[in-house]
C-alpha cells in the first residue's frame, strides 16, 4: 500500500484562542488539510474483476451496482484531514435511472438506423435534455457525497445549465441548419463550391473558436454550484486563461504532428524507391502510424487534463476554503503512457491498477486550505431537500468533478 | 455474554463535529452511545464492505455516519458481532475466487460469442416481419446507388439471359429458395471489382466486372448467384448486423469505458469469424443447388481460378483478417 500525503498540517490553533481574541480567532484556524489516497491496485483489481463478471453475466444490468461499489471504494480511500469521503448513492435508485437511460439510448440508436431524419430528431431531443440531465447528475453525485457526516450539494439552477451550453450549442445548431437548407443532394456536386465551403467550415470554425469560452462557462457553472455546509464555491478563472490553455495545447499537439510529418517525408520516398519490400513497408508504416497516433493522444490528453485540473482547482474557493492544484502534465503523461502500455500488454488486466495510480497522482497534486473552525460547520437549512425530480433524473449520469 | 463494543467517531449528519461514540449490536439492533443513546434496526444500516484499505463507514438511516479509521478494529468488531460479509465481498477477498471469476468471465464471453449472439440474432430475425428486412435492404441499395454504384452497361438481352437461367436454377431447388429475391446489375468502381453481394430482403447485386470475368463460364456465374441466394435464404445480412451489434455491445461492457478503439477490435475479430461461417453456409447452398440443377459444383473452380489470378496481380494489403474462408478450402469443397 502506498499512502500519499500532500503537504504538512500545522498544529491546530488552541481552543482558547477563540474566547481570548475573537477578532483574530478566525485566522488562527487557518491550516492546510492533508489529502491522502490509500487505495491499492491489487485490491481494486479484485473488486473490478468480480464487478466485471457480474456485469457481463447480467448483460450490463449490474453496472449501477458495480459503480456504487467502485465509488464507495475510492471515496473510503480518499482521506481529507484524516476523514474519508462517503458515498451514499442508493444503487437501486441508480439502477432505475440506468434502465431509463438505457432505453433512451436504445431508442436513440434504433432511430438512427431506420432513417437519418429520425436520427437527427432523436439527436436534437438528446441535446435538448442533456443540460438538464447533466445538472441532475451533478446534484445526485454531490448530494450523495459526504465528508465529516455533512453532505455536499449542488446549487446550480436549471437556466444556468442551459446558458453555459449556449456557446457550443449555437454553432452546432447553425451547422445543422446550414446543411439542412443548402447541402447538395447526395452524390451531386454543390452548385457553388465557395458558398458550400463557407456554410460547412464557417460554423465549424465558429464552434472551435467558441469552445474555450463555452468550457469556461461550463466550469464556472459546475465549480460555482458546489456547496458544503455554509461554503458556496466560486471559480474565478478568467475566460482568457481558457483561451490561452487551448492555444498552448494546440502548440503542444503540433510537436508530435510535425514529427510525424518529418517521419512521413523520410519514409514515403524510401518506400516509393522500393528499397523496402512491399509488405515490410506497409507493416512499418502502419506500426509507425499507430505509434504516432498513441503518442499524440497521450500528449494531448495528458496536457489538457492536467492543465485543466490546475486551471479549474487553483481558482476554486469559498469564503473559508481555498483549493490548489499543481499537477504536472509531464508526470501525468508518463503515467498515462505507462498505464496504456501495461494495459495493452496485459490485455486489459492492468486497468484497475491504472485507475488507482491515476487517482493517486491527481489527488496528490491537490491542496486545500481552510480558514474556519470546521467543528462549527452545520448543514444548511434546505440543503437536505434536494430537487427530487432532478435527483431521480440524476441517477442517469455519474458526473465526474474533474478529479 | 456482552456484545463486543467499538469506539469510533460519530457524525450526526447535521454538524461536522466528530463525537466520540461507542457502538454494539444486540437483538438485531445497532446501539449507539454518544452522549445520548440511540438504536437502529441493523438491516436499515448501510454497512461498509470489508476491504483491506480505506476507512469503515456505516451510514445510519437518519443521515448519521459512523466512521472508524482503524479498519482492523472494525473488522474484528463486525466479526465478533456476527455481521456477515456478502457473497460478493467474500469473492473479492479471495485471490483463488478472483482467478475463478476471471476464468468464468472468459468462459462466459466465449459462450456468448459462440452460441449466445447467434441464438439471439436467430430469435430476432425470426420475429422480424419480412417487410422490415425488405425496407432495410432497399434503403441500403438506394444508399449504395447514390454513393458507390453506377447503372450497369451490360446489354439488356445478356442480363435477361442471366436472370432466366438463374430462375431455372432456383426452380430446380424449391427447398432452398427464399420467399423473395431480386437480381440487380450494377457497375462498381475498381475497388469493388468482380463482385456480388446480397442485402437483407433479397436484393442480390452483381457487378458488370463479374459478368465480364465469367463471360465464358455462365455456369460459374450461376454458382456465384446461388451462393448469394444462400445469404438471402439464411438472412445472413441481418444476422451479421445483429450478431456484430451484440458482440460489440458486450465488448463495450468489458473495455468500453477505456477505449472505443479497443472495444472495436474484438468485435471486428468476432465478426470476421461469423462471416466465414456464413460464407461456408452459402457455399453449401450453392453446392446443393448446382447439383440439383444437374450441374457440376466444379464449375465454381473457374471462378476461384480467375479471382486468384486477379488477387495475384493486385498490389494491396495482405488480408490478415479474412472475411472469407481460405480459397484452397473452398476449392476443395466445390471439387467434391
A18-22 contacts: CB < 8 A, separation 24 or more?
A18/A373
SS3 B63: coil
Instruction: Determine the 3-state secondary structure of B205 from DSSP.
Output: strand
Of B14, B98, B146, the CB nearest to A50: B98
| pLDDT greater at residue A388 or residue A257 | A257
End-to-end CA distance of chain B: 84
Minimal C-alpha gap between B98 and chain A (Å): 6
| pLDDT beyond 60 at A217 | yes
Is residue B266 pLDDT above 90, yes or no?
no
Cβ atoms B59, A90 nearer than 8 A: no
Higher pLDDT residue, B89 or A396?
B89
Higher pLDDT, A382 or A390: A382
Nearest CA-CA distance, residue B93 and chain A, Å: 7
Query: Residue B17 to residues A32, A317, B147, B216, B295: CA-CA distances in angstroms?
Result: 18, 22, 69, 93, 91
pLDDT digits (tens, 9 = 90+) for A236-292: 989 999 999 999 999 988 887 888 788 778 877 777 776 666 677 777 777 888 788
The C-alpha cell that represents B3 in the structure block: 456484545
Q: How far apart are the first and last CA of chain A?
A: 21
pLDDT at A399 over 70: no
| Residue pair A84/A141 in contact by the 8 Å Cβ criterion | no
- Within the 96-135 window of chain B, which residues sit less than 8 Å (CB to CB) from chain A? 98, 101-102, 104-105, 108-109
Q: Which residue in this structure is represented by grid cell 456477515?
A: B84
Q: Does B65 touch chain A (CB under 8 A)?
A: yes
For B140-173, the pLDDT digits (tens) are 899 888 888 889 998 899 999 999 999 998 888 8
Least confident span in A82-86, A90-94, A316-320, B217-221: A90-94
d(CA A60, CA A103): 13
- Cβ neighbours, 10 Å, residue B145: 16
DSSP single-letter state for residue B196: E
- Give the C-alpha separation, B335 to B300, whole Å: 9
User: Is B171 touching A (CB cutoff 8 A)?
Assistant: no
Cα separation, B205 vs B211, in Å, equals 11
Which pLDDT belongs to residue B3? Answer: 85
Q: List all residues 6 or more positions away from B1 whose beta carbon is below 8 Å from its beta carbon.
A: none
Sheet holding A321-325: strands in order across? A31-33, A366-370, A321-325, A316-317, A234-235
- Residue B260 is predicted with a pLDDT of 56
In this structure, what C-alpha cell is assigned to residue A284? 512499418
Q: How confident is the model at residue A19 (pLDDT cuts 50, 70, 90)?
A: very low
In percent, the amount of chain A with pLDDT more than 90 equals 39
Contact B58, B45 (CB under 8 A): yes
Please tell me the total number of residues recorded for chain B in this structure.
336
Min Cα separation B68/chain A (Å): 9
What nine digits make up the cell of A280? 515490410
Q: Backbone phi, then psi, for A145, in 5-degree steps?
A: -115, 130
Say whether residue B258 is in contact with chain A using an 8 A CB cutoff: yes
Nearest to A77 among B16, B53, B318 (CB): B53
**A101-110, A146-155, B24-33: the lowest-pLDDT one:** A101-110
The Cα-based distances of B251 to A327, B11, B257, B269 in angstroms read 33, 43, 10, 11
Neighbours of A213 (CB within 10 A): 18
How far apart, in whole angstroms, are the C-alpha atoms of residue B251 and residue B262? 9
Does residue B175 belong to the interface with chain A, where contact is any CB pair within 8 Å? Answer: no
- Max intra-chain CA distance, chain A: 88
Alpha helices in chain B (DSSP H): 71-80, 87-93, 95-111, 117-127, 130-147, 156-172, 208-213, 218-233, 236-255, 260-292, 300-313, 327-335
**pLDDT at B1 exceeding the cut of 60:** no
Task: Give the other-Cβ count within 10 Å of B202's Cβ.
Answer: 24
Residue A118: the pLDDT is 80
Calpha distance A269→A275 (Å, rounded): 9
Lowest mean pLDDT among A70-79, A159-168, B48-57, B246-255: B246-255
CA distance A181 to A199: 10
Q: What is the pLDDT of residue B321?
A: 47
CB-facing half-sphere around the CA of B333: CA atoms within 13 A: 18
B7-65 pLDDT, tens digit per residue, is 999 998 889 999 999 999 998 899 999 888 899 999 999 999 888 888 899 999 988 99
State the ipTM, two decimals: 0.78
Q: Using an 8 Å CB-CB cutoff, list chain B residues near A56.
A: 105, 108-109, 250, 253-254
* More confident position, A289 or A364: A364
Residue B257 has pLDDT above 70, yes or no: no
Q: B160-163: long-range contacts at Cβ-Cβ below 8 A with a sequence spacing of 24 or more?
A: B162/B211, B162/B218, B162/B221, B162/B225
- Please determine, for residue A14, whether its predicted confidence score (pLDDT) is greater than 50: no
HEC-encoded secondary structure of chain A: CCCCCCCCCCCCCCCCHHHHCHHHHHHHCCEEECEEECCCHHHHHHHHHHHHHHHHHCCCCCHHHHHHHHHHHHHHCEEECCEEEEECCCHHHHHHHHHHHHHHHHHHHHHHHHCHHHHHHHHHHHHHHHHHHHHHHHHHHHHCEEECCEEEEECCCHHHHHHCCHHHHHHHHHHHHHHHHHCCCCCCCCCCHHHHHHHHHHHHHHHHHHHHHHHHHHHHHHHHCEEECCEECEECCCHHHHHHHHHHHHHHHHHHHHHHHHHHHHHHHHHHCCCCCHHHHHHHHHHHHHHHHHHHHHHHHHHHHHHHHHHHHHCEECCCEEEEECCCHHHHHHHHHHHHHHHHHCCCCCHHHHHHHHHHHHHHCEEEEECCCHHHCECCCCCCCCCHHHHHHHCCCCCCCCC
Secondary structure of residue B207 in the 3-state scheme: strand
% pLDDT > 70, chain A: 83
**pLDDT of amino acid A90:** 84
In this prediction, residue A315 has a pLDDT band, given cuts at 50, 70 and 90, of: very high
* C-alpha cell belonging to residue B183: 437480381
Cβ of B53 within 8 Å of Cβ of A39? The answer is: yes
Q: What percent of chain B stands above pLDDT 90?
A: 39
Per the CB < 8 A criterion, the answer to whether B40 and B32 are in contact is: yes
Q: Touching check for B319 and chain A: CB below 8 Å?
A: no
Q: Do B15 and A378 touch (CB under 8 A)?
A: yes
Cβ atoms of B244 and B274 closer than 8 Å: yes
Grid coordinates standing for A66? 458495480
CA atoms within 13 A of residue B52's CA, in its CB half-sphere: 15
Q: Specify the pLDDT at position B38.
A: 92
Res A6: pLDDT: 40
Q: Flag if B59 and A88 touch (Cβ within 8 Å).
A: yes
Asked if pLDDT for residue A391 goes beyond 50, the answer is: no
pLDDT tens across B277-336, in order?
Answer: 999 999 999 999 999 988 899 989 988 888 888 776 654 434 434 677 777 888 888 887
In this predicted structure, the answer to whether residue A21 has a pLDDT above a threshold of 60 is no
Q: What is the mean pLDDT of residues A206-233?
A: 92
Q: Between these two residues, A177 and A165, which has the higher pLDDT value?
A: A165
Q: Do B18 and A379 touch (CB under 8 A)?
A: no
Cβ-based contacts of A39 with chain B (< 8 Å): 53-54
> Given this model, what pLDDT does residue A402 score?
33
Please give the average per-residue pLDDT across B111-132, as a whole number: 90
Instruction: Give, as one character, the DSSP assignment of residue B13.
Output: S
Phi, psi at A102, each rounded to 5°: -60, -40
Residue B68 contacts A, CB cutoff 8 Å:
no
Amino acid at each position: 500500500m502506498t499512502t500519499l500525503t500532500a503537504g504538512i498540517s500545522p498544529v491546530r490553533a488552541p481552543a482558547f484562542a477563540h474566547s481570548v481574541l475573537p477578532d483574530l480567532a478566525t485566522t488562527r484556524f487557518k491550516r492546510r488539510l492533508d489529502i491522502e489516497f490509500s487505495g491499492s491496485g491489487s485490491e481494486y483489481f479484485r473488486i473490478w474483476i468480480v464487478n466485471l463478471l457480474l456485469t457481463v453475466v447480467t448483460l450490463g444490468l449490474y453496472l449501477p451496482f458495480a459503480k456504487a461499489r467502485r465509488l464507495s471504494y475510492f471515496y473510503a480511500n480518499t482521506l481529507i484531514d484524516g476523514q474519508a469521503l462517503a458515498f451514499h448513492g442508493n444503487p437501486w435508485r441508480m439502477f432505475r435511472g440506468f434502465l431509463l437511460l438505457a432505453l433512451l439510448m436504445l431508442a436513440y440508436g434504433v432511430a438512427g438506423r431506420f432513417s437519418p431524419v429520425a436520427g437527427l430528431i432523436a439527436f436534437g431531443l438528446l441535446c435538448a435534455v442533456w443540460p438538464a440531465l447533466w445538472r441532475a447528475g451533478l446534484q445526485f453525485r454531490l448530494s450523495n457525497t459526504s465528508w465529516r457526516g455533512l453532505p455536499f450539494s449542488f446549487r446550480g439552477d436549471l437556466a444556468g445549465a442551459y446558458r453555459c451550453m449556449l456557446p457550443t450549442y449555437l454553432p452546432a445548431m447553425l451547422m445543422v441548419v446550414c446543411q439542412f437548407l443548402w447541402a447538395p443532394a447526395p452524390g451531386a456536386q454543390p452548385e457553388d463550391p465557395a458558398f458550400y465551403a463557407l456554410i460547412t467550415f464557417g460554423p465549424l470554425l465558429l464552434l472551435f473558436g467558441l469552445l474555450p469560452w463555452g468550457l469556461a462557462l461550463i466550469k464556472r457553472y459546475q465549480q460555482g454550484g458546489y456547496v458544503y455546509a455554509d461554503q458556496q464555491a466560486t471559480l474565478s478563472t478568467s475566460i482568457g486563461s481558457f483561451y490561452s490553455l487551448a492555444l498552448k495545447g494546440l502548440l503542444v499537439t503540433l510537436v508530435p504532428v510535425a514529427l510525424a510529418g518529418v517521419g512521413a517525408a523520410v519514409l514515403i520516398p524510401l518506400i516509393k524507391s522500393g528499397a523496402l519490400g512491399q509488405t515490410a513497408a506497409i507493416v512499418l508504416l502502419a506500426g509507425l502510424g499507430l505509434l504516432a497516433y498513441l503518442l499524440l493522444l497521450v500528449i494531448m490528453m495528458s496536457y489538457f487534463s492536467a492543465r485543466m485540473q490546475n486551471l479549474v482547482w487553483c481558482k476554486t474557493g469559498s469564503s473559508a476554503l481555498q483549493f490548489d492544484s499543481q499537477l504536472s502534465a509531464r508526470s501525468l503523461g508518463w503515467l498515462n503512457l505507462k498505464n496504456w502500455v501495461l494495459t495493452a500488454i496485459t490485455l486489459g488486466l492492468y486497468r484497475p491498477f491504472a485507475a488507482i495510480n491515476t487517482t493517486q497522482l491527481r489527488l496528490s497534486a491537490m491542496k486545500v486550505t481552510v480558514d474556519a473552525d470546521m467543528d462549527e460547520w452545520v448543514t444548511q437549512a434546505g440543503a437536505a431537500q434536494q430537487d427530487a425530480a432532478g435527483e431521480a433524473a440524476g441517477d442517469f449520469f455519474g458526473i465526474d468533478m474533474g478529479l | 455474554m456482552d456484545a463486543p463494543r467499538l469506539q469510533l467517531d460519530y457524525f450526526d449528519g447535521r454538524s461536522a463535529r466528530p463525537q466520540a461514540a461507542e457502538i454494539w449490536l444486540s437483538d438485531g439492533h445497532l446501539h449507539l452511545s454518544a452522549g445520548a443513546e440511540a438504536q437502529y434496526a441493523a438491516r436499515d444500516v448501510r454497512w461498509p464492505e470489508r476491504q483491506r484499505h480505506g476507512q469503515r463507514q456505516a451510514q445510519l438511516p437518519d443521515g448519521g455516519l459512523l466512521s472508524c479509521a482503524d479498519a482492523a478494529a472494525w473488522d474484528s468488531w463486525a466479526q465478533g458481532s456476527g455481521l456477515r460479509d456478502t457473497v460478493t465481498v467474500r469473492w473479492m477477498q479471495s485471490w483463488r475466487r478472483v482467478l475463478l471469476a476471471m476464468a468464468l468471465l472468459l468462459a462466459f464471453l466465449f459462450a456468448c460469442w459462440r452460441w449466445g449472439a447467434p441464438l439471439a440474432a436467430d430469435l430476432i430475425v425470426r420475429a422480424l416481419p419480412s417487410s422490415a428486412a425488405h425496407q432495410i435492404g432497399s434503403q441500403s441499395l438506394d444508399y449504395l446507388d447514390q454513393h458507390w454504384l453506377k447503372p450497369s452497361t451490360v446489354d439488356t438481352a445478356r442480363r435477361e439471359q442471366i436472370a432466366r437461367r438463374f430462375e431455372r436454377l432456383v426452380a430446380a431447388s424449391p427447398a432452398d429458395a427464399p420467399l423473395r429475391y431480386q437480381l440487380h446489375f450494377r457497375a462498381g468502381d475498381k475497388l469493388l471489382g468482380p463482385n456480388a453481394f446480397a442485402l437483407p430482403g433479397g436484393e442480390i447485386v452483381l457487378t458488370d466486372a463479374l459478368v465480364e470475368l465469367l463471360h465464358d463460364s455462365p455456369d460459374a456465374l450461376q454458382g456465384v448467384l446461388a451462393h448469394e441466394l444462400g445469404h438471402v435464404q439464411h438472412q445472413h445480412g441481418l444476422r451479421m448486423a445483429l450478431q456484430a451489434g451484440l458482440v460489440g455491445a458486450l465488448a463495450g461492457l468489458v473495455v468500453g469505458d477505456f477505449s472505443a478503439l479497443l472495444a472495436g477490435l474484438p468485435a471486428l475479430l468476432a465478426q470476421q469469424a461469423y462471416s466465414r461461417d456464413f460464407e461456408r453456409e452459402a457455399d453449401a447452398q450453392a453446392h446443393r443447388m448446382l447439383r440439383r440443377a444437374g450441374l457440376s459444383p466444379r464449375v465454381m473452380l473457374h471462378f476461384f481460378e480467375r479471382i486468384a489470378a486477379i488477387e495475384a496481380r493486385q498490389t494491396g494489403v495482405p488480408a490478415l483478417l479474412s472475411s472469407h474462408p481460405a480459397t484452397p478450402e473452398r476449392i476443395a469443397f466445390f471439387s467434391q
